[in-house]
Amino acid sequence: MKIDDTLGFAFRSLRGYPLRTGLMLLAMAIGVASVVLLTALGEGARRYVTQEFTSLGTHLLIVLPGRSETTGGPPPLLGETPRDLTLEDALALLRSSAVRRVAPVMVGSAPVTRDGLSRETVILGTTAAMAEVRNLSMAQGRFLPAGEASRAEAHCVLGHKLKTELFGNTSPLGRFVRIGERRFRVIGTLAPRGQSLGVDISDVAIIPVASASALFNRVSLFRILVQARGRDAIPRAKKAVLDIIRERHDGEDDVTVITQDAMLATFDRIFKTLTLAVAGIAAISLAVAGILIMNVMLVAVSQRTGEIGLLKALGAPGGQILRLFLSESAMLSLVGAALGLLLAGGGLLLAERFFPNFPMVAPAWALLAAVGVALASGLVFGVMPARRAARLDPVAALSRR
């Protein structure tokens, strides 16, 4: 029997039982679609996090006061304060050729008042470099001007939400707000960006770091954001930061440097594992579809014993009957997989419509894997019924009507 005749025969027998065929296709399609969709979900989450991290700024190193490494040395006792990280420390980092920009960050909380409207908000004290380091974009006006970082200028930049709450739709540029006990002139507002890794950047007021120092009456920085000159310069920049701070802090390693790439890589790994796990769970539904195919094919074999007996009487050897039934399972799983891909495509389109910010994309390997697993499970689970058909005793098969 020729291959095309075998396939044609299998196709016609599938068409001969539309309900049965339809149900099996549905099971296969749902299995494949769930693999693709769940993988896309995992991949989407990975991309979302990566994108969030990238929006923090590129080639970023974060310097935190205090050591939080667990390797070696006695654990820090409660209440032991590390040496403060100061504005001078931050500016000293610029000495390294691996460092492009440095943005010191001082964080505090103070009421921001305007015409009797008052809001307790987060106050960020920083320098002009912050805009580039964190990729901040402006809605109106400009960011803090570059200049002496130690000068306590009385101007501020408002986050989008804070601006709306204090000024409504009117322009705040050139107007004054009171932060704590001091008056600041508004020189710009940030473009709305929403959440950025949990920190609501729209509900802040940004003032020069020296003003913040005066406002909160302290010199210690919350952290220093360092932008390296490039991706390759990150390890060098990290070493330079540690060296410079150690030198300035009497030879003590009392800061922690986190590189953004390291965090990114960690999250990347976590989400890749997660995606694989989710895809694995979805693959179980494919296996279930495979078992369903086996079940229904077994029923088909017992329904079609007469036909199988006839084929044997007409001179079809067992191997040929095996091939006929395997072709049926293979066709079911292939067509089912194709339908599943269509279904998944539709699902992805819908998801994109409703959650445009969440980048749901099914990676190519997931598509291939889904179709491969579908075909494999169809064939593996198709073997048993097909063998049963091939081994039927023709006399017994023909004697039943």
Q: Which residues bind another protein (CB under 8 A)?
A: 1-2, 5, 9, 12-13, 15-16, 306-307, 309-320, 394-395, 398, 401
Q: Which is nearer to another protein, 18 or 74 (CB)?
A: 18
CA pair distance 172, 141, nearest whole angstrom? 9
Residue 18: CB minimum distance to another protein, A: 11
CB of 313 to another protein, least distance (A): 5
Closest approach of Cβ 309 to another protein, in Å? 7
Structure tokens at 194: 């929403």
**C-beta of 274: minimal distance to another protein in Å?**
47
Between β-strands 176-179 and 99-114, what pairing exists: parallel, antiparallel or unpaired? antiparallel
Of the pair 141, 394, the CB lying nearest another protein is at 394
Residue closer to another protein by CB (options 210, 311) is: 311
Helices (H) and strands (E) in the chain, counts: 12, 12
Minimum CB distance to another protein, residue 4 (Å): 8
What is the b/e burial string over 193-211, where b = at least 16 CB atoms within 10 angstroms of the residue's CB?
A: beebeeebbbbbbbbbbbb
Burial class (CB in 10 A: 0-12, 13-18, 19+), 258: middle
Closer to another protein by Cβ: residue 353 or 400: 400
Greatest Cα-to-Cα distance within the chain, rounded to the nearest angstrom? 103
Q: Is the CB of 13 or the CB of 377 nearer to another protein?
A: 13
CB of 54 to another protein, least distance (A): 59
Tell me if 227 sits within 8 A of 60, measured CB to CB.
Answer: yes
Q: At what angle do helices 18-55 and 318-354 cross, to 10 degrees?
A: 40
DSSP labels, 168-232: TTS--TT-EEEETTEEEEEEEEEPP--EETTEETTSEEEEEHHHHHHHHT----SEEEEEESSTT
**Min dist. Cβ of residue 308 to another protein (A):** 11
Is 10 or 87 the residue whose CB approaches another protein more closely? Answer: 10
Main-chain phi, psi angles of 259, to 5 degrees? -95, 140
Q: In terms of CB distance, is 17 or 216 closer to another protein?
A: 17
Spatial CA neighbour of 278 closest among 44, 70, 67: 44
Q: Report the alpha-carbon distance of residue 318 to residue 7 in Å, rounded.
A: 17
Helix extents (H) in 204-317: 209-216, 234-248, 260-303, 305-313
State the nearest-atom distance from the C-beta of 3 to another protein, in Å: 10
φ, ψ for residue 245, nearest 5 deg: -65, -40
Residue 283 or 300: the one with the smaller Cβ distance to another protein is 300
Which residue, 186 or 390, has its beta carbon nearer to another protein?
390
Residue 324, Cβ density class (10 Å: 0-12 exposed, 13-18 middle, ≥19 buried)? buried
- Give the nearest distance from C-beta 321 to another protein in angstroms: 10
Whole-Å CA distances, 280 to 45, 169, 275, 284, 289: 17, 51, 8, 7, 14
Closest separation in Å from C-beta 393 to another protein: 8
Cβ-based nearer residue to another protein, 115 or 393: 393
